[in-house]
A = this chain, B = another copy of it.
Amino acid sequence: MNIYRFPTEAQLQEITARPVKDAADFTATVAAVLDDVRRRGDAAVIDYERQFDHVDLSECGADAPLAVADAEFEAAAAACSPELLASLQLAHDNIARFHEQQRFEGDVVETSPGVRCWQKSVAIEKVGLYIPGGTAPLFSTVLMLATPARIAGCREIVLCTPPRRNGTVHPAILMAARTAGVSRVFKAGGVQAIAAMAYGTQSVPKVSKIFGPGNQYVQCAKQMVALTDVAIDMPAGPSEVAVIADATANAAFVAADLLSQAEHGADSQVLLLTDSPSLLDAVQREVEAQLARLPRRDIAAEALSHSRLVLVADMREAMRVSNIYAPEHLIIETADAQTLAAGVVNAGSVFIGHLTPESAGDYASGTNHTLPTNGWANAYSGVNLDAYCRKITFQHIAPEGIAAIANAVETMAAAESLDAHRNAMALRRIALEG
């Protein structure tokens, strides 16, 4: 861990900077896979699954070889412990409660007499969710992405995830998908999964927006298809936490919070901002002690090697630095956490008080854990109900509305040299005046 005491502005630049990404360019590799799936559909996906996930899917179900069958869902239900199923349900219910409150009802606004304008929130018809494979099954992300999609009213919610070596999908992922209301689950991972959802194949429907995490190839694929074919949730980077803590904070809690970020990956970003030298020392000791007992201590240790513990003059300065950094997660463990939280300008999700760890929001408090990283919190929201909807604008103009705005429309259209625009209004005005 790197300690900074009362850093200068130049040091703050360094502390709040994100690591410069590897210059490796996957574009050509990714483009080739995208193009192949676009042309050959399911057959190409099956080939890449054999190559990258070492699974032969060609034997499974003639109609839709990639689709998870009902029998596999039934087996998954039996394979999950009752405790895990109850936890999934509790988490889902809280996520549902929070996102249901995000429904939008627009008022009709009469902007000029007789000119009525309003917004209507309409769900995106087809959305695709990507859930990576790897060592740990990210079933919590299934809940986070599918629950708001169902609440928004998306007509089709497709989920792609790579199969395990034995050709099945992890039971917890299937049970989370069923709990949250996913329409269909397909066995496809990596770039081929993104391509399948962006272009559609014989099995996988084309969607209008793709959500979800993934490795650098998946992220590159999402950004490439987003240029021309499909919307995506947001750009991605390593996961991050900033903790603002004062002398009232519990060093063991703070250390656990820093470590819960550090264990995500070697590139995880960990930042502590405090005005208490003794807390800083205590956190340092606690991190070492807790780290030793963690199964993923090697990963966490590597992330900690570039972590930053920063002593600042006061909490006001801590918040200023946090806003420059724009963390994905911000935990405020101070005496006046509620007051301090009012000063947040740039962050993805904020956890207030000594009893509010990030892991609450990662799983079960109800907020979404798909959040902007890498400084994108200065421009992007995390995933929320809006992310699955469009706000379509509507307007209706009555005769008195024409009288109110026709002159302005005609004058501006003429000044922009757009005569047909002017005519469209003038013809109506004249018809009414006639």
Contact residues of A with B, CB < 8 Å? 21, 83-84, 86-88, 90-91, 93-94, 97-98, 101-102, 106-107, 109, 111-112, 115, 117, 119-120, 122, 124-125, 135-140, 172, 208-209, 223, 226-228, 230-231, 235, 250, 252-253, 256-257, 259-260, 262-264, 290, 294-296, 300, 337-338, 341, 344-368, 372, 376-382, 384, 386, 389-399, 401-402, 405, 407-409, 411-413, 415-425, 427-428, 431-432
Contacts and interface: CB of A to CB of B under 8 A. Distances in A.
B411 A84 contact: yes
A333 to B, nearest CB: 11
A101 B109 contact: yes
22 contacts: A87-B408, A87-B412, A88-B412, A98-B111, A102-B119, A109-B366, A111-B365, A125-B378, A139-B415, A260-B420, A263-B421, A294-B419, A295-B417, A295-B419, A296-B419, A341-B394, A349-B395, A359-B425, A360-B401, A362-B421, A365-B401, A378-B390
Given A367-B395, A424-B256, A380 B231 contact: yes
- Central interface residue in A109, A230, A424, by most chain B CB within 10 Å: A424
Contact of A122 (B252, B259, B345, B395): B345
A395 B351 contact: yes
B355 A397 contact: yes
A253 B428 CA distance: 7
**6 tightest Cβ-Cβ pairs between the two chains A and B:** A111-B366, A231-B379, A87-B408, A94-B111, A357-B424, A256-B424
A248 B322 CA distance: 60
Contact of A395 (B119, B361, B390, B393): B361
A428 B367 contact: no
Given A392-B350, A393-B382, A409 B367 contact: no
B88 A359 contact: no
A287 to B, nearest CB: 10
Contacts of A117: 98, 365-367
A399 B415 CA distance: 64
A99 to B, nearest CB: 9
A355 B393 CA distance: 17
A113 B355 CA distance: 14
Contacts of A101: 106-107, 109
A420 B84 contact: no
A365 to B, nearest CB: 5
Contact of A97 (B88, B111, B408): B111
Contacts of A384: 119, 391, 393
Contact of A392 (B94, B209, B344, B364): B344
B355 A428 contact: yes
A396 B356 contact: yes
Given A296-B420, A379-B208, A357 B391 contact: no
Nearest to A358: B424
B115 A366 contact: yes
- Central interface residue in A124, A337, A357, A392, by most chain B CB within 10 Å: A392
Contacts of A376: 231
A393 B367 contact: yes
Given A359-B425, A420-B300, A350 B294 contact: no
Contacts of A382: 391, 393
B112 A94 contact: yes
A412 B91 contact: yes
Given A365-B405, A415-B84, A418-B260, A390 B397 contact: no
- Central interface residue in A102, A263, A351, A397, by most chain B CB within 10 Å: A397
B359 A253 contact: no
A346 to B, nearest CB: 7
Contacts of A256: 420, 423-424, 427
B87 A411 contact: yes
